[in-house]
């Protein structure tokens, strides 16, 4: 009897695996692709109008290396210029339409003092080439943070002529509609070793963040530059700059572009989608590494290297998505293409249960999540899971590192004639298609639940990867002697 019971169980398992594998083969062979959803990002057009900073209002601030004099005469500034007590200008609102300098806040010839400009709102500055809401000239050791700059005639923020070791962070720079602000952040003429991070620059008629003319060793990271002519631009002899982790979507021409003798720069980990080109290199751009960028649904190409005078650039591990299979235009010399991914829709997610433990008091599974793009580091995915129609608490889904997740479930047992238990989940990760999983379970109460066996079945149904989970209860000897049998049922796996 015992041998017969084991044989029946084994035949049941083999039969189910064969049936599912047959479905897999059919569905994969006939796969025609699903609907492609646009990558979602924050839409600045829906944001509230800029707030007024409060406290002080004026039409301009101009400091020409004379910080100590300014501190003695104005209440909107404090500090002594040291590392521990920098000069601070904050909570000032400036309508710069009558500014004699053409800029709202203008700092020049300041290289020895530390200073911070924060939580200021500036608008209506002039339209000359280097006018800006906030303008630094020949200035170092500054921090510009949490400022709002909108509807300025030419630029939101300007760094010009030998500005070094400044940090421009978390500023909100945009054209709200009453003027044609050209550039969000404009940097030009020997401005080196500056950091531009987590700024939002959008709706500018030219470039969101623009780096020009012999400006070297700058870091542009974590910024969002959407709905401009170009998101991020670098041109005219700029070297050794790092452009990483930025979002540049829905720009009319270029997400990110380099041109005119820019050498040895790094463009890595950015998202540049829904423009003419995601990344564009032109006219003597050499020795530049373009790696691990997400370049989706750009009209003329994911990457364009369009000039034969551009040499020795490396395009590596980029994820290129185009429904029309327009991926790379390469007219340059010695371009190296290494392990790029060419897809017609965003990459898929894969899940595998790599370990499990099932007790009377707790069901435990270890879930590994990976990308279709092998070796790609996933942004932390979102996992929503429902067990018997009840959402699994987030504190029961714990990241264990290396894309591994520890999941704890309350044990539920039902009779074979009762309603099966539904286990389903949604897994999301940045720049990937969401995946949905569903299965129905019946676990008999007549068996000893101390000893459970789990079989994982992955099947593709209507372009949706579905995780089937079957619990087989192995009866202990005492139950076998009583000739009690475990009834197991796995209903048809359905797409959500």
Torsion angles phi and psi, residue 160, rounded to 5:
-140, 135
Does the structural domain 347-489 have CATH classification 1.10.10?
no
The SS3 assignment for 482 reads coil
Place of tokens 């050499």: 286
* Tokens standing for residue 225: 């530059």
The pLDDT of residue 359: 73
CA 392/CA 473 separation, integer angstroms: 24
Closest alpha carbon to 227 in 379, 25, 444, 46: 46
Angle at 460 between CA 459 and CA 462, to 5 degrees: 145
Residue 9's pLDDT band (cuts 50, 70, 90): very low
- pLDDT per residue over 296-313, tens digit each? 999 999 999 988 999 999
Which string of DSSP letters, residue by residue, matches 293-312? -EEES-SSEEEEE--TT-BS
Task: Kindly provide the b/e burial profile for residues 112-147, where b requires at least 16 CB atoms within 10 angstroms of the residue's own CB.
Answer: ebbbbbbbbbbbbbbeeebbbbbbbbbbbbbbbbeb
The SS3 assignment for 389 reads coil
Looking at the predicted structure, is the pLDDT value of residue 4 above 60? no
CA 348/CA 131 separation, integer angstroms: 47
Residue 459's pLDDT band (cuts 50, 70, 90): very low
Which string of DSSP letters, residue by residue, matches 100-125? TTSSSEEEEEE-SS-EEEES-EEE--
Residues 6+ apart with CB under 8 A from 123: 50, 94, 95, 96, 104, 133, 149, 150, 151, 152
The pLDDT of residue 487: 33
CA 279/CA 270 separation, integer angstroms: 10
Closest alpha carbon to 174 in 224, 100, 238: 224
The pLDDT of residue 21: 39
Looking at the predicted structure, is the pLDDT value of residue 438 above 90? no
Closest alpha carbon to 291 in 226, 334, 340: 340
Which helix (H) or strand (E) is 47 found in, with range?
none
The pLDDT of residue 494: 34
Share of the chain above pLDDT 90, in %: 60
Q: Chain-wide mean pLDDT for the chain?
A: 81
Task: Give Cα 285 distance to the centre of its chain.
Answer: 26
Q: Which CATH number fits domain 98-107+127-139+151-343: 1.20.950.20, 3.30.160.20, 3.30.470.20, 2.160.20.10?
A: 2.160.20.10
The pLDDT of residue 451: 40
The pLDDT of residue 441: 65
The SS3 assignment for 98 reads helix
Residue 443's pLDDT band (cuts 50, 70, 90): low
The SS3 assignment for 347 reads coil
Residue 425's pLDDT band (cuts 50, 70, 90): confident
Mean local confidence (pLDDT), 468-486: 35
Lowest mean per-residue pLDDT among 1-5, 191-195, 300-304, 488-492 = 488-492
Residue 381's pLDDT band (cuts 50, 70, 90): confident
What pTM was computed for the model? 0.78
The structural domains of the chain, with segments of one domain joined by +, span: 98-107+127-139+151-343, 347-489
Which one is predicted more confidently, 295 or 379? 295
- pLDDT per residue over 188-231, tens digit each? 999 999 999 999 999 999 999 999 999 999 999 999 999 999 99
Closest alpha carbon to 457 in 5, 11, 10, 22: 22
* Tokens standing for residue 106: 């203008």
Residue 495's pLDDT band (cuts 50, 70, 90): very low
Looking at the predicted structure, is the pLDDT value of residue 350 above 50? yes
Lowest mean per-residue pLDDT among 14-18, 121-125, 368-372, 457-461 = 457-461
CA 315/CA 326 separation, integer angstroms: 15
């Amino acid at each position: 009897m015992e041998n017969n019971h084991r044989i029946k169980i084994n035949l049941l398992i083999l039969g189910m695996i064969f049936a599912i594998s047959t479905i897999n083969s059919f569905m994969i062979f006939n796969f025609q692709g699903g609907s492609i959803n646009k990558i979602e990002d924050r839409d600045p057009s829906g944001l509230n109008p800029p707030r007024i900073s409060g406290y002080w209002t004026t039409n301009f601030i101009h400091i020409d290396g004379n910080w100590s004099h300014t501190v003695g005469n104005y209440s909107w500034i404090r500090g002594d210029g040291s590392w521990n007590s920098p000069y601070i200008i904050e909570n000032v609102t400036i309508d710069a339409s009558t500014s004699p300098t053409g800029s709202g806040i203008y700092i020049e010839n300041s290289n020895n003092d530390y200073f911070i400009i924060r939580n200021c709102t500036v608008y209506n500055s002039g339209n000359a080439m280097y006018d800006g809401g906030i303008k630094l000239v020949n200035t170092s050791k500054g921090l510009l943070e949490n400022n709002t700059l909108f509807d300025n005639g030419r630029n939101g923020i300007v760094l010009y002529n030998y500005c070094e070791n400044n940090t421009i962070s978390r500023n909100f720079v945009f054209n709200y509609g009453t003027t044609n602000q050209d550039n969000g952040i404009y940097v030009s003429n020997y401005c080196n070793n500056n950091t531009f991070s987590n700024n939002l620059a959008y709706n500018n008629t030219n470039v969101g963040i623009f780096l020009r003319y012999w400006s070297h060793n700058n870091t542009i990271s974590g910024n969002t530059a959407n709905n401009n002519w170009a998101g991020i631009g670098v041109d005219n002899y700029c070297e050794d700059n790092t452009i990483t982790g930025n979002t540049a979507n829905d720009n009319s021409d270029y997400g990110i572009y380099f041109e005119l003798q820019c050498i040895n720069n790094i463009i890595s980990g950015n998202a540049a989608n829904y423009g003419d080109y995601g990344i564009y290199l032109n006219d003597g751009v050499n020795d530049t590494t373009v790696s691990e960028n997400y370049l989706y649904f750009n009209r003329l190409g994911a990457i364009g290297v369009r000039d034969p005078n551009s040499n020795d650039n490396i395009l590596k591990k980029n994820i290129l998505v185009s429904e029309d299979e327009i991926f790379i235009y390469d007219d340059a010399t010695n371009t190296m293409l290494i392990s790029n991914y060419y897809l017609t829709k965003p990459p898929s997610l894969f899940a595998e249960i790599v370990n499990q433990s099932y007790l009377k008091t707790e069901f435990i599974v270890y879930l590994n999540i990976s990308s279709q793009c092998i070796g790609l580091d996933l942004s932390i995915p979102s996992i929503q899971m429902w067990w018997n129609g009840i959402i699994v608490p987030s504190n029961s889904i714990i990241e264990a590192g290396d894309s591994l997740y520890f999941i704890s479930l309350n044990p539920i047992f039902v009779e074979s004639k009762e309603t099966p238990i539904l286990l389903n989940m949604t897994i999301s990760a940045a720049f990937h298609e969401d995946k949905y999983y569903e299965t129905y379970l019946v676990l008999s109460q007549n068996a000893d639940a101390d000893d459970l066996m789990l079989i994982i079945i992955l099947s593709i149904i209507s372009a949706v990867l579905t995780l089937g989970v079957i619990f087989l209860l192995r009866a202990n000897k005492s139950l076998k002697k009583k000739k009690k049998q475990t009834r197991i049922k796995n209903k048809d796996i359905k797409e959500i």
